[in-house]
Amino acid sequence: MEKWRRLLLVLVLFLAFFSARSQSFIGVNYGQVADNLPPPSATASLLQSTTISKLRLYGADPAIIRSLSGTNISLVLGVPNADIPSLASDPSAAASWAAANVLPYVPATSISLVAVGNEALDSGDAALASQLLPAMRNLGSAVAASGVKVSTVHTMTVLAHSEPPSSGAFRPELSADLTGILGFLRDTGSPFMINPYPFFAYRSDPRPETLAFCLFQPNPGRFDAGSKLMYTNMFDAQVDAVRSALDGLGFPGVEIVVAETGWPYRGDPDEVGTTVENARAFTGNLVAHLRSLVGTPLMPGRSVDTYIFALYDEDLKPGPASERFFGLYRADQTMNYDAGLVKSASSSYTSPSPPAATTGSTPPAATTGRCVPGATPHTSADGGPTQPEEQCHSPDAVGSRAAVGADRLFFLSVALTLLL
């Protein structure tokens, strides 16, 4: 009996310790279109106080890279779209970029990947799109010895179809470019990076039931007749639409990374859904969903690496007001809302209680787009969204999924108490 008591105690302590550790699949985007951001050292300290384990930059700021040395926070660096032509045409330019921005910092700073360009295939520049793969190849060769991967980031508008998820397919006019890029990703073991935003899907269809679906709140679900799967949230539907598109093009082995997703907590009067309550519900419930390890209906039992947009508000971002209010934190490092990311055993497996569906401003007339769910109506090269038998994958509500870890801890604690 004494042996079992000790075993249970070890399990309880292990779960408590694990719940406070960083989560390898949760990252955040660090946009810098602002004039009031804290120094890199302060940002490094802030990140270490959270369960965020990955940071994506839209460039390669040396001060930020150095500040994360020895922190075990993994970095994704970015190559601006403007640099793609030179990297594509000149391998020595790619070697110089790697020598300046990657090789001096590894392995002291963990750099996992370099994203060449941001949403370049949707830039409207055909020449840039054609130069993307050569640039990726040249940079891939330049960083190969360091173990750093190379990829690029896309918007959901690379899809021609995404609803239902089983019909996910890439736009025919992008097939040639994407086939080459995906071949490179497959051969190098690099991920396909995509920016799904349930917020934009809701903006295109601002009904209360759509809001609940986008916020991981209780809803009737959406049945996919093609796969016989039930979807209970927009995030899973968008990710699985991408999975279907990749499989359909012949690349089932290429993994998906969510490079951006988020929800603004403030916007212009005519921007529907931009409230603190909705932002907290989306981000908190997304974090809980990822921690549950439930996965998606097409990819159950594992969580996709996901980078939340964004770490800080960016006061100089152009466009509608919402563009400046995606931050988890203000520039003074106070939280805009609690998404359950602060390191603590009590908060790690819980999320903000899902509030009642809040629509914010008066919804505009619904619009249609090429790729709903998940259309990104506008993009920003400098980072961010300036943009029959039923097999049912339908856990009740994300709150109960998030409580899985806490429930296990509670159960073991009760068992230990009874045994003692």
The structural domains of the chain, with segments of one domain joined by +, span 21-329
Q: For position 167, what pLDDT does the model report? A: 98
CB atoms within 10 A of CB 350: 19
User: Per-residue confidence at 2, pLDDT binned at 50, 70, 90?
Assistant: low
Of residues 379 and 147, more confidence is placed in: 147
* 341 close to 287: Cβ distance less than 8 angstroms: yes
Average pLDDT, the chain: 84
Residue type present at position 15: L
Q: How many CB atoms lie within 10 A of CB 236?
A: 24
Phi, psi of 356 (to 5 degrees): -60, 145
pLDDT at 180 (0 to 100)? 97
Phi–psi pair at 57, nearest 5 degrees:
-105, 155
- Phi, psi at 205, each rounded to 5°: -145, 70
Strand, helix or coil for residue 277: helix
Q: Predicted confidence band at 20 (pLDDT cuts at 50, 70, 90)?
A: very low
Percent of the chain past pLDDT 70, that is, above it, reads 76
Residue 348 binned pLDDT confidence (cut-offs 50, 70, 90): very low
The residues facing 294 across adjacent strands are none
- Cβ(20)–Cβ(343) under 8 Å? yes
CB 173 within 8 A of CB 181: no
For residue 212, is pLDDT > 90?
Answer: yes
Return d(Cα 177, Cα 197) in angstroms, integer: 23
**More confident site: 31 or 396:** 31
pLDDT at 216 over 70: yes
Across the range 394-410, mean pLDDT stands at: 37
- pLDDT band for 144, please (50, 70, 90 cuts): very high
What band does 11 get if pLDDT is binned at 50, 70 and 90?
A: very low
Burial (0-12, 13-18, 19+ Cβ within 10 Å), 133 = buried
From 310, 305, 306, select the one nearest 328 (Cα to Cα): 310
The whole-angstrom separation of Cα 3 and Cα 182 is 53
Annotated catalytic sites, by residue?
119, 260
Between CA 214 and CA 201 the distance in angstroms is 8
The 10s digit of each residue's pLDDT in 275-322 is 999 999 999 999 999 999 999 999 999 999 999 999 999 999 999 999
How many residues in total does the chain contain? Answer: 420
pLDDT tens sequence across 95-121: 999 999 999 999 999 999 999 999 999
Could you report how far apart the first and last alpha carbons of the chain are, in Å? 10
Q: Which two tokens stand for residue 49?
A: 């106080």
Lowest mean pLDDT among 84-93, 140-149, 216-225, 410-419: 410-419
Which fold, 21-329? TIM Barrel (3.20.20)
Q: Dmax over Cα atoms in the chain, in whole Å?
A: 72
Give yes or no for a cis peptide into 34 (omega within 30° of 0). Answer: no
The pTM of this model reads 0.82
Task: Give percent of the chain above pLDDT 90.
Answer: 75
pLDDT tens, 23-61?
689 999 999 999 999 999 999 999 999 999 999 999 999
pLDDT of residue 24: 82
Q: In whole angstroms, what is the distance from residue 260 CA to residue 194 CA?
A: 7
